[in-house]
Amino acid sequence: MATYHHGDLRPALLRAAAKILEQEGRDAIALRDLARRAGVSHSAPYRHFSDRQALLAALAEEGFALLAAELEGKPWREQAVAYVLFALANPERFRLMFAHPVPDSLRMLVGGDAVARATWAMVHGLAHLILSGHFAGEDPEALVRRTLAEVRFAQRSA
């Protein structure tokens, strides 16, 4: 059992947990295992996370920050594409993120705009459908762009 002090433990635990999440899934994440991988005592992670759920919530929160950074400053069509590409690059983290309440920072992207909310819902659903294999063999970026164009056309035709 390791007993030395790890000066950067919280970020190290989150990095290790993110790696396990993407490679093995959320069920494989255990605080004791993370402590072993970090070379610290089995109780050290509890100084940063009260329990496994708190660690998973921190992973989700970190995921939302990464997603927000991907979306920031892009026009809405490019945000839609970036959203789906983020989901595809981080499938397990993306699923975990939406197993927890959505933070205010992401809600602010759509605000009270009904069209923005509807677009987010559509793009989010599209991301989940792609992750589930319902559009296997299709280029995700082209699929998002085509779907947005079709919805825009339908809006103008209505």
User: pLDDT of 62-111, one tens digit each?
Assistant: 999 999 999 999 998 999 999 999 999 999 999 999 987 776 766 666 56
Q: In whole numbers, what is the pLDDT of the chain averaged over residues?
A: 88
- The domain limits of the chain are 1-49, 60-157
Gap between the Cα atoms of 17 and 26, Å rounded: 9
For residue 12, what are the CA distances in angstroms to 15, 17, 35, 49, 132?
5, 8, 10, 13, 30
Q: Which fold has domain 1-49?
A: Arc Repressor Mutant, subunit A (1.10.10)
Phi and psi dihedrals of 139, rounded to 5? -70, 115
The amino acid occupying position 13 is: L
Q: How confident is the model at residue 19 (pLDDT cuts 50, 70, 90)?
A: very high
* 3 — pLDDT class (breaks 50, 70, 90): very low
Among 7, 13, 15, 4, CA closest to 31 = 13
